[in-house]
Amino acid sequence: MTSIESPRKPAKSSDKVSSPLHLLQTLTRTLHEHLADACTQAEQDARKALDKLQRQQEKLDLKLGQTRDKLDARTAEQPDKPAGKTRKKLAELEAAKLELHEARLKAESYIAQLSSDVRQTLRLAKGLERIDGQVSQALEKRDAPKPPAKPRARRPAAQRNGKGTAARKPTAKPKPSATAPN
């Protein structure tokens, strides 16, 4: 790498963050993608580990069968000769098989719990999708040109008060009395 080259990838024009809304949208999308990828990868890794344990058990079963056959053959050919080494190896293989069986049970339990956790995590992560949708709506609303304001039609004053002109009656002023004191 020369001094002119940058160690970072050049930013795409679509990756440009121009407002907090864009940043929130980018964060929610990225977080959701990484979360989904991490969940998938965790499940794949757990299944690979279980498959590996299965292959180990198959190999161990094969060795165990061969050792039993060898012990049976030795005791059939030479019943007086002790077969202590073969019996010891057989006991070690059976102990290893028991440990491997326990490891498989733990792995299966872990995978079941992991699957449950992944389902719950992805269900909860739907909130990120809702946030992304709301941010998109906010950006569209902000960027959409506003329609020109319509002039409001003016209503006559009588209608604004809720009373019509016909409903108004002139009020009579009190007249001076005809008999006035002198």
Tokens of 174: 């009190």
CA distance 39 to 3: 39
Q: Which of 107, 111, 109 lies closest to 119 in space, CA to CA?
A: 111
User: Does residue 60 register a pLDDT over 80?
Assistant: yes
pLDDT value at position 8? 44
Contacts of 64 (CB under 8 A, 6+ apart): 90, 93, 94, 97
CA distance 53 to 107: 9
pLDDT value at position 28? 93
Asked if 60 contacts 93 with a C-beta cutoff of 8 angstroms, the reply is yes
Which amino acid, 39? C
**Per-residue pLDDT tens for 3-45?**
444 444 444 545 565 889 899 999 999 999 999 999 999 999 9
**Per-residue pLDDT tens for 76-109?**
888 777 778 888 888 999 999 999 999 999 999 9
pLDDT value at position 47? 96
Which amino acid, 29? R
